[in-house]
């Protein structure tokens, strides 16, 4: 038997360290839930929602009163008339606002004057419709299996279901979806022929080839193509999704004050926790050894959790300030992002790179340009210029701008796009240009050509 001695170095995190790391990674919503749970589980911890200052509440009340005074009777009457009309329309047609596609389809089915058995089959098709508006792959087969019927009956029911709003719902593929919409619009015969027989060629912008096959002009093909483009390829796109809406609450707020960028951690959604020392003192009066041990344990847990939350706030603010300072062009001049690595921010903040990674994970920043994930501000230096390096994001922005400005009758090839970028001082390869173009969902030169 061979016996060997090996020396290994491992980092084992204690329970407290793991808790500290977990809290650092939490975004505002997750931390809010954690704080509430801790307050419910630990009797020594109390929490209080942040309230608006009395002065702010008073200001809002005055603003509301001023608005009411300015609103004259004519505006009030107009609003009442419009509101009543909206309510009547909602009762008659149903409202799409805030509805999912399935809910809207079921509303239409339930209000039809047809036998209940017929409604049941139509409801099954509604439940078998994806959010895009297309029927699920095996919906018809499943319908015929659950409700035995002839193929002719199934085809008639499907046609009835496809007559519901929005136009194109209940179709099984893009071709069927476009054909139903075109026929309802009274589209040209050429547009219908193009969808029936030349959809793949249209997708590849092979208009000249199609024109030769159909013995027509590219102008007529282009006009028919415009009819097709007026259709909705995903009939269900205008409805609320079935999945629960995920609200984004910014963790960092960046504001301009006195020509300076002020960074603050958003604490408006996080309950303010504190230890009720009066309650601790009361519990300890006449407590036995077991109760004293319980109180001491809960007190340590609370103190450590509050320390971790406080450390999270200071770390997050420190990291955010470094990001804003490094990306000042983006915030002050509405410019593009500069190259930035986690290591750069870690060096500025005096922390480990993994700490920065955890601090920006799943968190958002709000500024006058909108709300952005924190990790979006990290961009690698992908090319060199005479002035230094540029980020991949700025190259994509410039590439997109060049393509938007090109002559659509003679679109630029990837080689020509590369030459333009190089002429501007950006050293980049044709392969990288093609990669960026495809990543932005932009077609090649042939696919962008207009006839």
pLDDT confidence of residue 100 = 84
pLDDT confidence of residue 60 = 46
pLDDT confidence of residue 360 = 92
The better pLDDT of the pair 12, 423 is held by: 423
315 pLDDT band, cuts 50/70/90, is very high
The three-class DSSP label of residue 368 is coil
Asked if residue 94 lies in contact with residue 108, where contact means CB atoms within 8 angstroms, the answer is yes
Q: Are residues 333 and 255 in the same domain?
A: yes
Over residues 72-81, the mean pLDDT reads 42
Q: Are residues 364 and 427 in the same domain?
A: no
In a domain, 47, yes or no: yes
Residue pLDDT, tens place only, 180-205: 999 988 889 999 999 988 888 888 88
Query: 149, 169, 189: which is the final residue of a domain?
Result: 169
Q: Are residues 253 and 372 in the same domain?
A: yes
Q: What is the pTM of this model?
A: 0.53
In a domain, 78, yes or no: no
Q: Are residues 184 and 261 in the same domain?
A: no
pLDDT confidence of residue 247 = 66
CA dihedral 384, 389, 394, 399 (to 10 degrees): -10
Please report, for the domain that includes residue 440, its CATH number: 1.10.10.60
Range scoring the smallest mean pLDDT among 51-55, 87-91, 423-427: 87-91
In a domain, 77, yes or no: no
Q: Are residues 346 and 423 in the same domain?
A: no
Q: Are residues 259 and 300 in the same domain?
A: yes
What is the domain extent for residue 135? 99-169
Asked if residue 322 lies in contact with residue 316, where contact means CB atoms within 8 angstroms, the answer is no
**Nearest CA to 176 among 220, 207, 124, 133?**
133
Query: 379, 413, 437: which is the final residue of a domain?
Result: 379
Q: Are residues 258 and 365 in the same domain?
A: yes
49 pLDDT band, cuts 50/70/90, is low
In a domain, 149, yes or no: yes
Q: Mention every residue, 6+ apart, whose C-beta is less than 8 A from residue 432.
A: 382, 383
> What mean pLDDT value characterizes the chain?
80
Over residues 302-330, the mean pLDDT reads 92
Q: Are residues 369 and 387 in the same domain?
A: no
Q: Is pLDDT above 80 for 68?
A: no
Q: Are residues 227 and 320 in the same domain?
A: no
In a domain, 76, yes or no: no
In a domain, 4, yes or no: no
Q: Are residues 286 and 362 in the same domain?
A: yes
- Angle at CA of residue 69, ends 68 and 70, nearest 5°: 90
Q: Are residues 401 and 368 in the same domain?
A: no
How far apart, in whole angstroms, are the C-alpha atoms of residue 372 and residue 252? 10
Query: 239, 264, 283: which is the final residue of a domain?
Result: 239
In a domain, 80, yes or no: no
In a domain, 226, yes or no: yes
Range scoring the smallest mean pLDDT among 6-10, 110-114, 221-225: 6-10
The total number of structural domains in the chain stands at 4
98 pLDDT band, cuts 50/70/90, is low
Token digits of residue 219: 């102008």
Token digits of residue 417: 């796009």
Q: Are residues 310 and 387 in the same domain?
A: no
% the chain with pLDDT above 70: 81
pLDDT confidence of residue 258 = 85
The better pLDDT of the pair 175, 282 is held by: 175
């Amino acid at each position: 038997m061979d016996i060997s001695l090996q020396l290994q170095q491992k980092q084992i995190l204690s329970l407290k360290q793991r808790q500290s790391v977990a809290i650092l990674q939490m975004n505002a919503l997750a931390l809010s839930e954690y704080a509430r749970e801790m307050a419910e589980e630990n009797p020594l911890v109390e929490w209080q929602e942040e309230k608006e200052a009395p002065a702010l509440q008073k200001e809002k009340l005055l603003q509301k009163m001023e608005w009411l005074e300015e609103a004259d009777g004519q505006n009030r009457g107009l609003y009442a008339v419009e509101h009543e009309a909206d309510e009547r329309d909602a009762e008659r047609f149903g409202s799409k606002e805030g509805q999912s596609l399935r809910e809207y389809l079921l509303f239409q089915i339930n209000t039809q004057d047809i036998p209940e058995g017929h409604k049941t089959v139509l409801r099954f098709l509604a439940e078998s419709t994806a959010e895009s508006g297309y029927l699920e792959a095996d919906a018809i087969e499943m319908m015929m299996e659950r409700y035995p019927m002839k193929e002719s009956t199934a085809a008639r029911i499907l046609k009835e279901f496809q007559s519901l709003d929005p136009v194109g719902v209940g179709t099984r593929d893009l071709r069927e979806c476009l054909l139903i919409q075109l026929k309802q619009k009274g589209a040209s015969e050429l547009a219908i022929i193009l969808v029936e027989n030349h959809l793949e060629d249209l997708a590849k912008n092979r208009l000249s080839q199609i024109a030769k096959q159909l013995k027509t002009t590219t102008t007529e093909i282009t006009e028919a193509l415009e009819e097709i483009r007026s259709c909705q390829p995903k009939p269900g796109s205008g409805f609320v999704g079935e999945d629960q809406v995920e609200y984004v609450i910014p963790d960092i707020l960046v504001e301009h004050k006195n020509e300076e960028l002020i960074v603050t951690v958003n604490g408006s959604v996080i309950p303010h926790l504190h230890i009720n020392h009066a309650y601790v003192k009361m519990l300890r009066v006449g407590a036995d050894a077991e109760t004293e041990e319980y109180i001491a344990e809960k007190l340590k847990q609370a103190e450590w959790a509050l320390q971790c939350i406080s450390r999270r706030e200071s770390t997050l603010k420190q990291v955010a300030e470094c990001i804003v300072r490094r990306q000042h062009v983006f915030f002050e001049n509405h410019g593009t992002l500069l190259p930035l690595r986690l290591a750069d921010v870690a060096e500025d903040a005096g922390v480990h790179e993994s700490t920065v990674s955890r601090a920006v994970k799943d968190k958002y920043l709000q500024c006058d340009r909108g709300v952005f994930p924190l990790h979006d501000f990290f961009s690698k230096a992908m090319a060199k210029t005479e002035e230094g390096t540029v980020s991949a994001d700025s190259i994509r922005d410039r590439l997109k701008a060049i393509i938007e400005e090109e002559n659509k009758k003679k679109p630029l090839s990837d080689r020509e796009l590369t030459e333009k970028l190089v002429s501007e001082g950006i050293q980049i390869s044709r392969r990288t240009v093609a990669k960026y173009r495809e990543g932005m969902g932009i077609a090649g030169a042939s696919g962008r050509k207009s006839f």
